[in-house]
Amino acid sequence: MATQPLVDPELLQRKTSWQPYFAAKLGFRDHWYVACFSHELGEGAVVLRQIMGEGILLRRIDGAVYAIRDRCIHRGVRLSEKVECHTADTISCWYHGFTFRWATGDLCAVFGAPESTAIGKKKIETYPVSEAKGLVFVYIGEQGATPPPLAHDCPPNFLDDDNVVEGEARMVASNWRLGPEGGLDEIHRYLHRESPLLLNIQGSMPLGHTAMRGQFELIDGEDGPRGIIDRFKAEKMFFDAEIDGVTVAKGVNFGAAKRRAVYSSCWMPACLKVEGFPDDGVTLFEWYVPVDETTHRCFITFGKHCADAAGEAAFRREYHTRWLPLAIDGFLSQDIMARESSQHYYQNDRAWFEEGLIGEDFMLIEWRKLCSRRQRTVQSLDRLL
Ligand code: FES
Ligand SMILES: [Fe+2]
């Protein structure tokens, strides 16, 4: 049976300045990705995640988190069908009893063939894990390769010692690429004009906001995070929606001093950072983790620099009582709806070449170019489950 190619081979030949990005329907390998929140992984718990099409099992053992591939090396079954951990540091396949150490991947026993010479020689794939700010990250790259520091795949300041992070995850029925692109879309604020968040924070939100062409920053070095920043310099703001000179809708306008967001930015492999959102002193970090071609898991997190435990407790309270209902359910859910609706169109590869972007959408193209220049490996179909 012929395998369906991941992207249309004829379209792959088309000349664009962002061809690898077009090919990366499943995302880019050799990066750190958020797998889950730390609180989802209690001691001894096992969590299954699909990231870029790969099934990954995570377990916390004596406080540390380990990750292995959810594919038995013997006959390829998914260990997650029936998780069997007979000892704290091993997992056994439910089929013939191949048993692997979580920390190293080593095959340490075969219940169906206890004297097999394969024992001690073979390994299941393992993934480096790093835990920070209440998130569990896995590095998806070559087996045995030394991963780059986690900080290279996090937006600046996310890992700061005093940055306190709270958040939620949402499954979104769209390709991961529509996540960063929705965040960098500088002309979409019309979508948010009736969000209850704006009245709550008394924050101005124009219907349109246009960064002037060329007025963006690329952070594009060999080391460290790679991203694109719009500091809302040279912008124009539009508060009235007019048709034939008649105002039909208005943005929320409490005056220029009431603008909240300081800048928006996007960081590889796929994290949106908006400083000053949802309010002064708070920063949105929104992580778009590819699950498969048509789904991503969105980790919506907010960070605040807190000087002491009292400040941290106050921020955590504020998150649950204010930002969760107003900023996530009352604002960012609108972006999720837009991504899911766009997916109906962009699931056709041809759409990426036929879309109707206009000049003001240039940030999207700059992001695609940055990813294409700096990506390490495009995830391919043969890594799929
Ligand atoms: S398939 Fe897993 S032990 Fe045989
Ligand atoms: Fe938005």
CA of 144 to the centre of ligand 1 (A): 23
Listed in sequence order, the residues at least 6 apart from 233 whose beta carbon sits closer than 8 Å to its beta carbon are: 211, 212, 215
Ligand with the closest atom to the CA of 286: 2
Listed in sequence order, the residues at least 6 apart from 325 whose beta carbon sits closer than 8 Å to its beta carbon are: none
CA distances from 38 to 35, 59, 384 (A): 9, 11, 26
Q: Among 229-238, 267-276, 317-326, where is mean pLDDT lowest? A: 229-238
The residue-averaged pLDDT of 25-48 equals 97
- What is the Cα–Cα distance from 103 to 27, expressed in whole angstroms? 26
Neighbours of 221 (CB within 10 A): 10
- What is the Cα–Cα distance from 233 to 259, expressed in whole angstroms? 13
What the block records as the tokens of 291 is 């699950």
pLDDT at 233 > cutoff 80: no
DSSP state letters, 303-331: EEE-SSHHHHHHHHHHIIIIIIIIIIIII
Asked whether 385 and 80 are in contact (CB, 8 A), the reply is: no
CA distances from 193 to 53, 204, 251, 253 (A): 36, 10, 6, 10
Asked whether 34 and 18 are in contact (CB, 8 A), the reply is: no
CA of 280 to the centre of ligand 2 (A): 17
Q: Is 94 in the pocket of ligand 1 (CB under 6 A)?
A: no
The one-letter amino acid code at 96 reads H
Closest to 178 in 3D by CA, of 33, 280, 25 = 25
CA of 353 to the centre of ligand 1 (A): 44
**Percent helix, strand, coil in the chain (nearest 5)?**
25, 30, 40
Q: Is 306 in the pocket of ligand 1 (CB under 6 A)?
A: no
pLDDT at 164 > cutoff 60: yes
Who wins on pLDDT, 76 or 209?
Answer: 76
Who wins on pLDDT, 256 or 138?
Answer: 138
Length of the chain measured in residues: 385
With tokens 């837009």, the residue in question is: 338
- What is the Cα–Cα distance from 346 to 293, expressed in whole angstroms? 11
Q: Is 96 in the pocket of ligand 1 (CB under 6 A)?
A: yes
Q: What is the pLDDT of residue 211?
A: 60
What the block records as the tokens of 92 is 């056994």
Closest to 267 in 3D by CA, of 187, 159, 353, 358 = 159
The one-letter amino acid code at 3 reads T
Q: Where do the domains of the chain lie, and which CATH numbers do they carry? A: 31-140 (2.102.10.10), 150-384 (3.90.380.10)
pLDDT at 256 > cutoff 80: no
Q: How confident is the model at residue 360 (pLDDT cuts 50, 70, 90)?
A: confident
Asked whether 87 and 79 are in contact (CB, 8 A), the reply is: no
Pairing relationship of beta strands 31-37 and 46-51 according to DSSP bridges: unpaired
pLDDT at 102 > cutoff 60: yes
Q: Among 70-84, 209-223, 259-273, 342-356, where is mean pLDDT lowest? A: 209-223
Our CA angle for 138, 170, 377, nearest 5°, is 35
- What is the Cα–Cα distance from 376 to 100, expressed in whole angstroms? 30
The one-letter amino acid code at 277 reads F
With tokens 């081979």, the residue in question is: 9
- What is the Cα–Cα distance from 385 to 376, expressed in whole angstroms? 21
Which atom of ligand 1 has the smallest separation from the CA of 73?
2
Pocket test for ligand 1, best of 57, 71, 96 (most atoms within 8 A of CB): 96
Q: What is the pLDDT of residue 235?
A: 62
pLDDT at 214 > cutoff 70: no
